[in-house]
């Protein structure tokens, strides 16, 4: 008998698990809420930055997931499907609240794409060796949403290229390009922060 | 030189573990003899490592419980909606059933009323009442069952 991915951490047959999920079985959905609470919340928090908004979107994600559970294709990863639901809700929310583009000027006057161009290797290693997570986190929060999202999906959620592409509904090549640009932009921000810290 | 610039562009993705195996081998081969790229790769690997070690914000303890309650409410509300729809369908069905059987009853109403020793008007009232009562009883039983199912959620 075929087996699906281990959605609940329990070995379940493909047929029974898919049937229970698609029939809107509250017990299985309740357990999934618990299982994914921290990861989904973290993902949403990285996107919207505000804890109260992340909580609202967390709840909306599960309501939407439950509404659409019958359309969930069990051949797909449940995690990828869930994060795609969350992604769509978060992006809708951000579009309503703050339409943002890559070339929108930052408070510093630079555009985000300008940030991605400069580089100053060397300072970064020093900075990272001190494990200043707060600084890295602050730098991540300065990135545009699209960059923040791909960073969190790759490094925090540890999703594979195919999964990220599925969540974002983007071709894999675009995901790679976006991640490349996101890392470069992040490095520039970190180096700028380091320069500021080193100023007399 | 061309290989150097190509590989240099791949270093971010190499550090992120997002290259396909062929590209990964290509990068590794280049790093063996290019110190500049090795240093650059180490920087990117350090950044990737820092990103992997970012502290995970914990969802508030109440969030999962609140969400489960919300989902249960949504499920019950949806079941109630379905119940109301079902009731509306049954009412419609009772009307249709009444009208469809009118011809049959009309054909036998006089002998039937005589046999039951009641007036024709009373016979009609009993007939319509019985039809609707049966439908209402079915609706009640169905609604009760749905409510029980809703409670098990």
CA distances from A168 to A107, A153, A171, A172, B153 (A): 28, 10, 9, 10, 33
B14 and B42 housed in the same domain: yes
Domains in chain B, number: 2
Encode pLDDT of A128-164 as tens digits. 555 567 888 889 999 999 999 999 999 999 999 999 9
What is the predicted pLDDT for the residue at A121?
47
* Sign of the four-CA dihedral B3, B49, A184, A189: negative
Closest partner CB to B63 (pick from A55, A136, A184): A55
Q: Left if phi > 0, otherwise alpha if psi is -120 to 50, otherwise beta: which for B117?
A: left
**Residues of chain B above pLDDT 70, percent:** 93
Report d(CA B24, CA B16) in Å as an integer. Answer: 11
B65 and B137 housed in the same domain: yes
With tokens 């320069």, the residue in question is A195
B73 and B143 housed in the same domain: yes
Q: What is the mean pLDDT of residues A13-23?
A: 63
Q: Is B130 on the interface with A (CB under 8 A)?
A: no
pLDDT at A71 over 50: yes
Q: Is A176 on the interface with B (CB under 8 A)?
A: yes
Report d(CA A19, CA B85) in Å as an integer. Answer: 25
State if pTM tops 0.80.
Answer: no
B93 and B142 housed in the same domain: yes
**Residues of chain A above pLDDT 70, percent:** 70
What is the predicted pLDDT for the residue at A97?
75
B87 and B13 housed in the same domain: no
B77 and B36 housed in the same domain: no
Encode pLDDT of A73-129 as tens digits. 878 888 899 999 999 999 999 888 765 544 444 444 444 444 444 445 455 655 555
B45 and B98 housed in the same domain: no
* A contact residues 96-155, partner B, Cβ 8 Å cutoff: 121-122, 124-125, 128-129, 131, 133, 136-137, 140, 151, 154-155
SS (H, E, C) A150-197: HHHHHHHCCCCHHHHHHHHCCCHHHHHHHHHHHHHHHHHHHHHHHHHH
Top-confidence residue, A190 or A7:
A190
Closest partner CB to A45 (pick from B15, B57, B68): B57
Q: Name the closest residue on chain A to residue B55, using Cα atoms.
A: A133
How many Cβ atoms from other residues are within 10 Å of residue B90's Cβ?
18
B31 and B97 housed in the same domain: no
**Nearest-neighbour CA in chain A from B18: distance (Å):** 7
How many Cβ atoms from other residues are within 10 Å of residue B122's Cβ?
12
B31 and B67 housed in the same domain: no
The last residue of a domain, from among B53, B72, B94: B53
Q: Name the closest residue on chain B to residue A154, using Cα atoms.
A: B16
Across the interface, whether the CB atoms of A156 and B43 are under 8 A apart is answered no
Q: Name the closest residue on chain B to residue A179, using Cα atoms.
A: B13
Tokens describing residue B125: 């009232």
What is the predicted pLDDT for the residue at B112?
76
Q: Name the closest residue on chain B to residue A163, using Cα atoms.
A: B18
A3: DSSP letter = B
Q: What is the largest CA-CA distance in chain A?
A: 68
Q: What is the mean pLDDT of residues B44-65?
A: 89
Q: A28 falls in which pLDDT band (50, 70, 90)? A: confident
Segments in B17-119 forming alpha helices (H):
21-33, 35-52, 61-116
Encode pLDDT of B69-103 as tens digits. 888 888 788 777 777 777 778 778 777 877 777 77
Across the interface, whether the CB atoms of A42 and B57 are under 8 A apart is answered yes
B87 and B33 housed in the same domain: no
Q: Name the closest residue on chain A to residue B10, using Cα atoms.
A: A180
* B contact residues 46-65, partner A, Cβ 8 Å cutoff: 46-60, 63-64
Q: Is B89 on the interface with A (CB under 8 A)?
A: no
B28 and B96 housed in the same domain: no
What is the predicted pLDDT for the residue at B124?
79
Closest partner CB to B70 (pick from A59, A122, A183): A59
Who's near B51: CB < 8 A, 6+ residues apart?
A: A136, A140, A151, A154, A155, A156, A186
Top-confidence residue, A75 or A19:
A75
Report d(CA B79, CA B72) in Å as an integer. Answer: 10
Exposed e or buried b for every residue in A1-22, given b needs 16+ CB within 10 A? eeebeebeeeebeeeebbebbe
B24 and B80 housed in the same domain: no
**Nearest-neighbour CA in chain B from A38: distance (Å):** 5
pLDDT at A1 over 60: no
Domain that holds residue B15: 2-53
Report d(CA B68, CA B126) in Å as an integer. Answer: 49
């Amino acid at each position: 008998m075929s087996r699906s991915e281990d959605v609940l951490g329990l070995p379940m047959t493909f047929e029974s698990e898919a049937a229970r999920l698609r029939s809107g079985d509250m017990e299985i959905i309740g357990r999934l809420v618990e299982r994914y609470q921290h990861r989904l919340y973290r993902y949403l928090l990285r996107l919207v930055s505000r804890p109260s908004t992340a909580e609202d979107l967390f709840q909306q994600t599960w309501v939407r997931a439950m509404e659409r559970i019958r359309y969930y294709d069990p051949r797909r990863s449940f995690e990828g499907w869930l994060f795609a639901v969350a992604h769509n809700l978060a992006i809708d929310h951000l579009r309503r609240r703050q339409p943002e583009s890559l070339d929108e000027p930052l408070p510093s006057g630079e555009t985000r794409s300008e940030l991605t161009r400069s580089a100053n290797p060397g300072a970064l290693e020093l900075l990272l060796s001190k494990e200043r997570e707060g600084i890295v986190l602050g730098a991540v929060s300065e990135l545009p949403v699209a960059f923040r999202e791909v960073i969190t999906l790759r490094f925090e959620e540890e999703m594979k290229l195919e999964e990220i592409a599925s969540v974002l509904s983007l071709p894999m090549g675009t995901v790679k390009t976006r991640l490349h640009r996101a890392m470069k932009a992040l490095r520039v921000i970190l180096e700028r922060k380091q320069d500021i810290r080193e100023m007399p | 030189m061309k290989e150097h610039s190509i590989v240099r562009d791949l270093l971010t993705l190499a550090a992120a573990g997002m290259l396909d195996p062929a590209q990964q081998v290509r990068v590794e081969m280049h790093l063996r003899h290019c110190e500049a790229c090795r240093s650059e790769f180490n920087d990117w690997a350090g950044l990737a490592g820092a990103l992997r070690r970012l502290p995970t914000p914990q969802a508030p303890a109440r969030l999962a419980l609140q969400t489960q309650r919300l989902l249960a409410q949504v499920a019950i509300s949806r079941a109630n909606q379905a119940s109301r729809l079902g009731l509306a369908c049954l009412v419609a069905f009772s009307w249709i059933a009444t009208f469809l059987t009118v011809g049959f009853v009309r054909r036998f109403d006089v002998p039937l009323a005589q046999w039951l020793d009641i007036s024709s008007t009373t016979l009609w009232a009993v007939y319509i009442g019985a039809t609707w009562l049966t439908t209402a009883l079915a609706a009640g039983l169905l609604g009760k069952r749905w409510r029980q199912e809703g409670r098990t959620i």
